[in-house]
Amino acid sequence: MTRHLLSIDDVTAEEIQQLFETAAEMHDVQRREVKKLPALRGRTVINLFFEDSTRTRSSFEIAGKWLSADVINLSAKGSSASKGESLRDTVLTVTAMGVDGLVIRHSASGAAHQVAQWVDVPVVNAGDGMHEHPTQALLDAYTLQRHFGAGSVERGALEGRRIAIVGDLTHSRVFRSNVKSLAKLGAEVVAVAPPTLMPSGVGEWAKADGFATSYDLDEVLPEVDGVMMLRVQRERMSGGYFPSPREYTVGYGLTRDRLRRLDEGVPILHPGPMNRGLEISADAADAVGSVVLDQVSAGVAIRMSVLYHLLAGEETL
């Protein structure tokens, strides 16, 4: 594994599998009465979040603390960035204090890559603009692999599985990372969205990364082994991407009626936060096949695995 985790491009299929195997061991920690491992004792990790977050920030904090690292959370509102300090000066100031790792979330695509050029400590991309969110993609694939592997992270469990990723693909960094990670693990991805929310140039991109596209959710659903619903990111929209929330739900929401058309046992994923009643109904979010809370649990395990491999002194996975 490279020194940083900035993109799914930074890890091979074999390295992803090793991360999963470590995560499976870390997952067991969540069931212990005392949830602590000494692996990162004496290490300091900074979570530098320039965007609001609940799941990602909390899971990175828990992951670091369960590995016995000292974890410090910084946000833009509570840092000198709110006074006009540049990103470069902020990260250089923080790392000059002797920290061992930096987890960064930023609204600008490419921010994590740029930070990695400025500092001499491992950097983990916790989401940068509309670019990538590698640990989210890893936890999604890990959740699916455990589901299809009957609770284990069996190699090849995703081979040939058809996974639909549905929703606001234009603004989704989760989609961009998941396409890469699922392909590396042998899954077949079909991206479903209205034309206005399908990324520009998706045709050439689909050919390069080997995924299919569709504008018809009802046609796709009966053929999939798993479905991932993505949040409609209204905060990133400046125009009319669809006529109304009602129209979007009718065309692309995982409604109660569509839920009935899914084959039994098909896992339903959502990276959160969910807009219940828009892209996913309450029935679907809370259905027997929903693995949304499994994703949350997996997020801690995967982030423990990533921090362990980057900061525990190993040269390779």
134-291 and 8-132+296-311 share a CATH fold = yes
Distances (CA, A) of 14 to 18, 120, 212, 270, 294: 6, 26, 24, 25, 23
Q: What is the mean pLDDT of residues 110-138?
A: 97
SS3 at position 103: strand
pLDDT higher than threshold 50 for residue 236: no
pLDDT higher than threshold 70 for residue 131: yes
What pTM does this model have? 0.93
Binding residues: 55-56, 83, 105, 133, 136, 173, 231, 272-273
- pLDDT at residue 137, rounded to an integer: 98
Q: What is the mean pLDDT of residues 1-16?
A: 91
Binding residues for L-aspartate: 83, 173, 231
- pLDDT at residue 243, rounded to an integer: 59
User: Where do the structural domains in the chain lie, given as residue ranges?
Assistant: 8-132+296-311, 134-291
CB-based contact 186:16 (threshold 8 Å): no
- Considering just the CA atoms, what is the radius of gyration of the chain in Å? 19
Query: What is the rounded average pLDDT for all residues in the chain?
Result: 92
Interior/surface letters 83-107, b for 16+ CB within 10 angstroms, e for the rest: eeeebeebbeebbeeebbbbbbbbe
Query: 141-200: per-residue pLDDT in tens?
Result: 999 999 999 888 888 999 999 999 999 999 999 999 999 999 999 999 999 999 999 998
| Residue pointed to by tokens 């596209």 | 213
- pLDDT at residue 82, rounded to an integer: 64
Q: Which stretch of 43-47, 96-100, 313-317 has the lowest confidence by average pLDDT?
A: 313-317
Rounded CA gap, 237 and 221, in Å?
27
- pLDDT at residue 314, rounded to an integer: 54
CATH number of 134-291: 3.40.50.1370
CB-based contact 289:10 (threshold 8 Å): no
End-to-end alpha carbon distance in the chain: 6
- pLDDT at residue 241, rounded to an integer: 62
- pLDDT at residue 78, rounded to an integer: 63
pLDDT higher than threshold 60 for residue 235: no
1 vs 17 pLDDT, higher one: 17
- pLDDT at residue 80, rounded to an integer: 67
Rounded CA gap, 241 and 28, in Å?
43
54 vs 315 pLDDT, higher one: 54
Rounded CA gap, 298 and 126, in Å?
15
pLDDT higher than threshold 80 for residue 83: no
pLDDT higher than threshold 90 for residue 36: yes
Query: 254-283: per-residue pLDDT in tens?
Result: 999 999 999 888 999 999 899 999 999 999
Binding residues for carbamoyl phosphate: 55-56, 105, 133, 136, 272-273
Domain 8-132+296-311 has CATH 3.40.50.1370: yes
Residue 101 φ/ψ, nearest 5 degrees: -160, 155
